[in-house]
Structures are given as C-alpha cells and as structure tokens.
Amino acid sequence: MALKILVTAKRVEDPESRIRVRPDGSGIVTEGVSYKMNPFDEIAVEEGLRLKESHGGEVIVASIGGDAAQIELRAALAMGADRGVLLRHDGPLDPVVVSSLLAKVVEQERPDLVLLGKQSIDDDQNQVGQYLAARLGLPQGTFASKQESLESEAEQKKQPGVKLAADGKRIRVMREVDGGLETLDLALPAVVTVDLRLNRPRFASLPGIMKAKKKELKDVPAASLGVDLTPRVIIRRLAEPALRQGGVKVADVDELLQKLHQQAKVL
Amino acid sequence: MAGRLFKGAEYLITQATKTDVFTPEDLTEEQRQIASTTEAFVRDEVLPVHERLEHQEPGLAASLMKKAGDAGLLMIDAPQEYGGLELDKVTSALAADRMGVAGAFAVSYSAHTGIGTLPLVYYGTAAQKERYLGKIMSGEWSAAYCLTEPGAGSDAMGGTTSATLSADGKHYLLEGTKQFITNGGFADLFTVFAKIDRKHFTAFLVERSFEGVTIGPEEKKLGIKGSSTTSVILEGAKVPVENVLGEIGKGHKIAFNVLNVGRFKLGANVNGAARAALAEGASYANQRKQFGVPIASFGAVREKLADRVADLFAAESLVFRLAGMIDDRLATLSKETPRYYEAYQQAVEEYSIECAIAKVFCSEVLADVVDDVVQIHGGYGFTQEYKAERYYRDERINRIFEGTNEINRLLIPGTILRRAMKGEIPLQGEVMKATEAMMTPSLDELDPADAFAAEKATLAGLKRAFLVVSGAAVQRYADQIKDEQEVLLALADVAIQIFAIESALLRAEKAAPTLPEARRAAMAAAVKVHTFSAVEKVAAAARRAAFYVAEGDRLTVMLAGIRRFTRYDASGLLGAKRRLAQATLAQERSPL
C-alpha cells in the first residue's frame, strides 16, 4: 500500500519582504527581497510526508529553476522528503511550460499521487495542477482541504487530510468550493492541489536539515526533456496597484446615497 | 575558515584583516536553514502563546521546551555519541540570535541549552550523560543552573550551600538556598554548586524529585515575566554520590567555564531582540503621523534609527567574528584527544576577554535600541498597547545576569594585564612602541583606493591609545591595579569599542564585493556612523583613564597623544546617517 508521492517546491518571494515594482515596470525590485518555498507547496510537502508516515512509501520533491531553486528543494528534503529533482532552467516560465515539464517528471517517476500547491504566491495563476492532470489524463482534485480545523486533534496528531482508501487504490479529497465543501473520490494515480486549510506544515528540524545534505538531488537540464520551453504568456509590464484614497465621513444617509450615486457611480 | 588563529586579546596589538574574520555573510546554506527553523519555531510556537506565557500559564513553558526539542533546537551543542548534533559555535550563536525575538522564552531557552546543559556535556561522566542528556536534548526534561545565593551574587564563590557525605557514604546531603534560578519553576534537572564540608566547591546534578528539594515561589520581576525565576531550597537534599559533576573541589572551573560560552551567546541572543525592536520602531515611525506627516520624515527620528542600526551592525559583526574565532580554535582539537573537553575549555577560555566584550557591548546596544524605540513611540511607547514597552522591560536583565556588565568590564583589562604579566601577550613591548609613537607624529598617507582607509588609520591609533593608557596605569599601580576599578572600567571601555569598530569594519570590507550596490552603500554608511560614535566613546574613556593615572606633564603629553590617536575623519556623516535611516524605513527593519 506504500505510496510514491511527487510534490513540488517552488522558490518564491517571501511575502514578508516588501515587494516593489521596478521603475521601468520590467519586474520587481529584488534587492533586499528574501525567498522561500511557496507556502502552498509547503502544505503539499507536509501532506505528502503525512501520507508517507501513515502508509509508507516515498516522497520525491521537484522544482524548476537555477542553482537557487536547490535551496527550497533542500528545505523540502530537510522537512523529510526522500529525494529531489531539479529541472534546471533559467529564464521565464509559464504554467503551460511548467506543466509540460512536470508531466515529464511524472512519466519518468510514475508516482501514485502528485501533490502541488493550488497556486504559487508570486503570480497566483492557479493553473499548473489542472494543466498537469489534463496532460496526463489523470483525475484531479483541486483546493484540497479538510473538515477538521487546524486546531483539531487530528491536526495535532499530523493525520493526513487526504484519505487513502482501504484498498489503496483510491483517495478521498475534501475540497473547498463556493458555499461549502465537496468530497471527491479519485482513482490513483491522481493529481491533487492543496489549499491553505489542509494542514499546518512542520518546519525542518535540525537533524532533518543535517540529514538533507546527504539526500539525492538529481539535476536534469530542462532542455533535455523534449519540451518546448518558450512561454506563451509574456509579461510586458508590471505596475503597482493604485494607491487607495482615504475615506470620507458622511453626515447622513441622504449624503451617502448621493455620493454613491454621483461619485462612486455604483447606484 | 582560512584566517589566522588569533590569541585572546591579540586584536589589541595586531592588525587583523578581512580574511581573518567570520561574518554573517559567510553562513552556509545549512546554517541559514537552521536560522529559518528557529525563526519558524518562534513565529509559529512561541509568539502566538506569548501573552499566556507572560502570565506564567502552568505547563506552557515546559511544553514549548518539548517542542523546541522536537525541532532539534536543544541538541546543537550536545555530542554526537549521545544523539546530539555537535554543531559549530556559529550555528549555536545563530540559533541564539533568532531565538532573541522570543523575549522571556529566549531566556528559558538560553538557560536550558547553555548553563543548564553545558556543564553536563563538558564535565559529565558517560553514565551521567547516558542518564540525562537524551532527556534534556529532547526537551522531555528542562534544565537549570543553581549558582547564585541570597548572599552570593557577583561573589559567586561566597555561597554557603553545603554538602555533607551521608553516614553510609552513598549520598551527599545538600543544605542551603539557591536564588534567582531561571527555569526553576519547571526544571527537572538542576546543576547545583555547594561546598563539601564547607570547603570543596563542587557541582552536583540534582533531580527535582530528589528528597529534600523544594522549589520556592515565582519572583515578581520587572521584565522577562514569561520566564520562570524561583529559589531552590535544599533541606538535606539527598544527592547520590554518582551525581557529583566533575571533580570534587573543582566546581569553580565548571561554574566559570560555562559562563564564557554563556556570555558570547547572550550577545547573539540580545542582537535578535534588538533587531525585532528596531523593526518595530521603524514601522511605527512610518505609520505615526504628526504635523501632517509620518514621523519617519523627521531627522530627529531618522538619526535614532541610523545610530541604532549602525550599533546593531557592529554587535552582529562582533558576535559572529568571535564565534568564528572559537570555532577555528576548536577545529584544531581532535575529538580523540584525551580529556577533550578540558582542551575544549582552554580553547574557549582563550577568548574569555572577547566573550565578556560580546556580553557587555551587545547588551548595551540593546539597551540603547529599546530606549530609542520607546522614545520613537512617544507616549504610546509607555503603554502596554505596544511591544516597545515589553522590549524595554525585558532588556534590563541582560546587563545584570551572566555576570553584571561591571564584573565583565573588570574582567577585560584584568585578564589582559594578567596575561601580559605572564608573557602570553607581548603587551610591554607594544606599550613602549605606542608611547614612542605618541612622541613622534606620523605622517602616514591614506590609501585612496581603500574605501575604509580612514577607519583603518583611526583604528591603529585607537589601539595605541589603549596601549598608552594601560601602560601608564600599570606603571602607576603595578599589581595593585586590580583594586583600581574606576581605572579598569575606563580601560575596558576602550578595549570593547576597539573590538566592535574593527569587527564592523572588517565585516563590511569582506562582504563588499559580494553585495548589491545598495546594501554595500548601507554597510559603508553603518561603518562610518558606528565608527564615529565609538571613537568618541574611546576618546572619552581614554581621557578619563589618563586623568585617573597621570598628572602634570605626563598627563598633558598623554592627553595630546589621545587627541591625536582618536582622530577620525567622518566626513559625510550626516549623509551616511540619512542613507542608513532611509534604507531602514524602506524595509522596516535593519537593512544589513
């Protein structure tokens, strides 16, 4: 019943850093910005580790990027993943290319389950998981969540929120949808993208960090995989959102109505 | 590290270069990950329950210690053969630094991993380590250290707690009261110092559950309220003879040796607290509006931020340089060496002067930081609505424990002069050279290609100033100098600032080629701002010392020499402060 699980660990700007757009709009100011693993991917890694701890198996972590991307892969290995794959590529990417590259990894590794963050917090596109499932013709469960709260006992005990069926051939995914939760039973292999309330990821322990140094990290040139690496989505210009104007106080409902009508033009 | 192996205090008589120092920019990827784990631990586990911790919720501190154990944060200094990680002092300092944000819990953590654990690591027998170390590393047990007594604080050897062998020879019976014991309320293992037969100062491993051990009530403290501080009352406490730690009568070695590491780690720890407080100050300055503009736009606020960021930069540079020095020296030891930990102690003891400097300098930087952060908050800083108030209260203890800053200051010139008299450092000859230089003005040209030429020239002068005044002090008082505390304190101030200036300067010089332009400029600004204020302090302390030890013509000559040796061209100082403040406000934290 052991599960082979592939998870992703993208390197993104730390949301704690102050993000500013470069004056020419060509990108963000990277000076003084720190980086970390995409928080949604961290949840995916955590879920993968919990599934492995419950059912046995292996967690493989993948990322795409240059030397720096190894830092987040090592961080996932330090959390407890067994080995890593770096698809080496410098330059811009889009979800089409990313999903094509990940599909190659899935073809090579043949995991039972692929776990990804539902989106990465840099450009918040929320597309890779869906594309990946479609490319591979696999069932998908997006925005995996769970009924138990993050304060629950199950969470304290680090039980997986994604449940493996007794026969080991299906998983049950609780997903967040507008107006509630939906339960899906997916046949394995499957692709699952995870949402915020699925689990609270562990941080790497110090022994974990020291062990991670010795774990395998395969370095594969992305160009060697026979995938067209040209992004379809090209970022022309970035701009800061307009500054919010300060509010005004109104004397009464009539003035409010008038302002909503004349100034805000919403009535 | 490829740098030169320095002797303790050697920095005062020689010129170190950038390759000789370890800097935070040299951290390895694993070390950075350990820093992030510590940050995550504090952010996710400690800060959310901080308010409950401040009210001493029963069981909470012990449960946090267990969680720290799960994260591996309690095994950094423990030997591998007992399941520890035995990482370098740089890593240990880094964890202490990142833990600094945790306020009171940082104190619990430091006591547990430092004075609570290290005596056992360094002096425990295999059986003792087997029995206790695993529990302490996992956080299943918490540890405490009991040296202070109601009548014996700074005079640590003046305690009256006694130990008497029982009639059957199986136990020592301990009698006495230990006071201000950090973690006392929940610790399971206490390293207790007592005098066997009122003579032989000895350490004992005492379990909380031993018969005759009672824990006193919690002290009501000014700050670090979330940490436990109690007395430990020993009334015929029955301690098995196999729980004697180290040699009978050699307890003072244990008591003092762990303090060196403790002092240097306290330096790292308070730097973390200072960084958090500064970030709070910078972000408040951006938010708070007066006269229709954010107070961050006022020079009065900006100057405070710039000065404190520069000081913190020096404090960090100093601690990591020292960590690197200790690691380099420890790296020369083989673990196979018989009596490894004795050699290890000697290696650390070599830097007892620098450890004391780290304690004093960093704790005083934090004091200035929290004071300014309250001031930036204005009236709000005086209320408990803002963190500034707690930072201010939590800071105070750092200048008292791990040896008061006075005790540590006295130790600095005291140890330097003692080593000089033993011929371990050639101070005498250097004093003569410096005195000669005082008489013959040098006309050294500054190297225009060296960005830090002015600082380096001044630094060389400051070292001469130290040599001249300490030489005069020794000449005046000879052996009796140890009783002239006012003189020693002044000499200490000179020695402390020199180490700080040099560490900051060498760090900036070493890091410069690897940094993006903006950060490099901020670092250079920090060096200028810090050097200027530190040189002023050196000049004042050196003059003070001169007035204490000399008079008449000698005094006149010495004062003139000090004036020349403490000259620093700080052109562009205002611009440097503004740049540094700007960067701090933009990032709402130290930009370095």
Residue A98 lies in a domain: yes
Contact B519 A31 (CB under 8 A): yes
Residue A207 with chain B: CB contacts under 8 Å: 72, 75, 85
Closest Cα of chain A to B521: distance in Å? 13
pLDDT of residue A17: 79
Q: Spell out the per-residue pLDDT of chain A, length 267, in tens.
A: 699 999 999 999 998 877 889 999 988 888 778 899 999 999 999 999 999 999 999 999 999 999 999 999 999 999 999 999 999 999 899 999 999 999 999 999 999 999 999 999 998 999 999 999 999 999 999 999 998 889 899 898 999 999 999 999 999 999 988 888 899 999 999 999 999 999 999 999 999 999 999 999 999 999 999 999 999 998 899 998 888 888 888 999 999 999 899 888 888
Q: How far, in Å, CA of A143 to CA of A140, rounded?
A: 10
Q: How far, in Å, CA of B353 to CA of B495, rounded?
A: 10
Q: Considering only alpha carbons, which residue of chain A is nearest residue B583?
A: A32
The reply to whether B406-587 shares the fold of B251-403 is yes
On whether any CB of chain B is under 8 Å from the CB of A22, the answer is: no
**Ramachandran sector of residue B183 (left: φ over 0; alpha: ψ -120 to 50; beta: rest):** left
Q: How far, in Å, CA of A147 to CA of B262, rounded?
A: 47
Provide the β-strand partners of residue A5. A59, A113
Residue A114 lies in a domain: yes
Say whether B402 is catalytic: yes
On whether any CB of chain B is under 8 Å from the CB of A175, the answer is: no
CATH of domain B251-403: 1.20.140.10
Q: How far, in Å, CA of B359 to CA of B409, rounded?
A: 9
Question: Which two tokens mark A186?
Answer: 């997916």
Q: Which residue, among B28, B33, B82, B289, would best test binding to A if mutated, counting the most A CBs under 10 Å from its CB? A: B33
SS (H, E, C) B466-534: HHHHHHHHHHHHHHHHHHCHHHHHHHHHHHHHHHHHHHHHHHHHHHHHHCCHHHHHHHHHHHHHHHHHH
Distances (CA, A) of B396 to B47, B225, B354, B431, B454: 20, 12, 22, 37, 35
Distances (CA, A) of B221 to A168, B196, B230, B494: 58, 32, 11, 33
Q: Which of A200, A203, A208 sits opposite B41 (nearest CB)?
A: A203
CB B313 within 8 A of CB B590: yes
Residue B71 with chain A: CB contacts under 8 Å: 203, 205-206
Contact B33 A78 (CB under 8 A): yes
On whether any CB of chain B is under 8 Å from the CB of A32, the answer is: yes
Residue A151 belongs to domain with CATH number: 3.40.50.620
Query: Phi and psi at residue B245, in whole multiples of 5°?
Result: -100, 125
On whether any CB of chain B is under 8 Å from the CB of A214, the answer is: no
In A, residues 66-95, which contact B (CB 8 Å cutoff)?
71, 74-75, 78
Q: Which residue has the tokens 């419950």?
A: A54
Contact A75 B33 (CB under 8 A): yes
Residue A234 lies in a domain: yes
Closest Cα of chain B to A102: distance in Å? 26
Q: Which residue, among B27, B31, B37, would best test binding to A if mutated, counting the most A CBs under 10 Å from its CB? A: B37
B interface with A, Cβ–Cβ below 8 Å: 29-30, 33-34, 36-37, 40-41, 44, 70-73, 75-76, 85, 87, 516, 518-519, 586-588, 591
**Of B316, B354, B402, B509, catalytic:** B402
Does the structural domain B10-143 have CATH classification 3.10.290.10? no
First-last CA distance in chain B: 22
Cβ-Cβ pairs closer than 8 A, A with B, add up to 54
Residue A130 lies in a domain: yes
CB B314 within 8 A of CB B500: yes
Q: Which residue, among A11, A209, A210, A214, would best test binding to B if mutated, counting the most B CBs under 10 Å from its CB? A: A209
Contact A206 B40 (CB under 8 A): no
- The set of residues, in sequence order, having a beta carbon less than 8 Å from that of B142 and lying 6+ positions away, is B61, B62, B65, B108, B112, B116, B136, B183, B186, B187, B188, B189
Residue A208 with chain B: CB contacts under 8 Å: 72
- The one-letter amino acid at B424: E
CB A256 within 8 A of CB A250: yes
Q: How far, in Å, CA of B19 to CA of B460, rounded?
A: 18
Q: What size, in residues, is chain A? A: 267
pTM, 2 dp: 0.91
DSSP run (H or E) holding A144: strand A140-145
Domain extent, residue A230, equals 3-262
pLDDT of residue B443: 65
Provide DSSP, B424-442. Answer: SS-HHHHHHHHHHHHHS--
In a 13 Å sphere around the CA of B557, the CA atoms on its Cβ side amount to 15
Q: How far, in Å, CA of B322 to CA of B266, rounded?
A: 13
CATH of domain B145-245: 2.40.110.10
Mean pLDDT of chain B: 95
Q: Which of A32, A210, A213 sits opposite B591 (nearest CB)?
A: A32
For residue A142, which of A150, A134, A132, A130 has the smallest C-alpha distance?
A: A130
Question: Which two tokens mark A57?
Answer: 């198996």
Contact B516 A31 (CB under 8 A): yes
Residue B36 with chain A: CB contacts under 8 Å: 36, 75, 203-204
Contact A206 B85 (CB under 8 A): yes
Q: Which residue has the tokens 């020695």?
A: B495
Residue A71 with chain B: CB contacts under 8 Å: 29
On whether any CB of chain B is under 8 Å from the CB of A209, the answer is: yes
Q: How far, in Å, CA of B86 to CA of B81, rounded?
A: 9
Report the 10 Å Cβ neighbour count for B255.
20
CA angle at residue B530 from B363 to B280, to 5 degrees?
A: 55
Closest Cα of chain A to B382: distance in Å? 28
Q: Which of A18, A75, A208 sits opposite B587 (nearest CB)?
A: A18
Q: Cβ-count burial of B115 within 10 angstroms (0-12 exposed, 13-18 middle, 19+ buried)?
A: buried
Closest Cα of chain A to B549: distance in Å? 49
pLDDT of residue B94: 97
Provide DSSP, B61-86. Answer: HHHHHHHHHHTTTT-TTS-GGGT---
Q: How far, in Å, CA of B477 to CA of B467, rounded?
A: 15
- The set of residues, in sequence order, having a beta carbon less than 8 Å from that of B107 and lying 6+ positions away, is B182, B224, B227, B397
| Strands B171-182, A217-221: pairing kind | unpaired
Q: Which of A36, A200, A203 sits opposite B37 (nearest CB)?
A: A203
Closest Cα of chain A to B446: distance in Å? 32
Residue A267 lies in a domain: no
Contact A205 B71 (CB under 8 A): yes
Residue A212 with chain B: CB contacts under 8 Å: 33
CATH of domain B406-587: 1.20.140.10
Distances (CA, A) of B363 to A80, B32, B273: 38, 24, 10
For residue A119, which of A108, A109, A130 has the smallest C-alpha distance?
A: A130
Omega within 30 of 0 (cis) for the link into A189: yes
SS3 B444: coil
Contact A18 B72 (CB under 8 A): no
For residue A135, which of A109, A101, A110 has the smallest C-alpha distance?
A: A101
| Number of structural domains chain A divides into | 1
SS3 A139: coil
CA B365 to chain centre: 11
Residue A68 with chain B: CB contacts under 8 Å: none
SS3 B60: helix
Q: How far, in Å, CA of B281 to CA of B296, rounded?
A: 10
Positions of chain B with pLDDT under 50: 1
Helices (H), A117-247: 128-136, 153-156, 206-212
> In chain B, where are the structural domains located?
10-143, 145-245, 251-403, 406-587
CA angle at residue B19 from B14 to B20, to 5 degrees?
A: 45
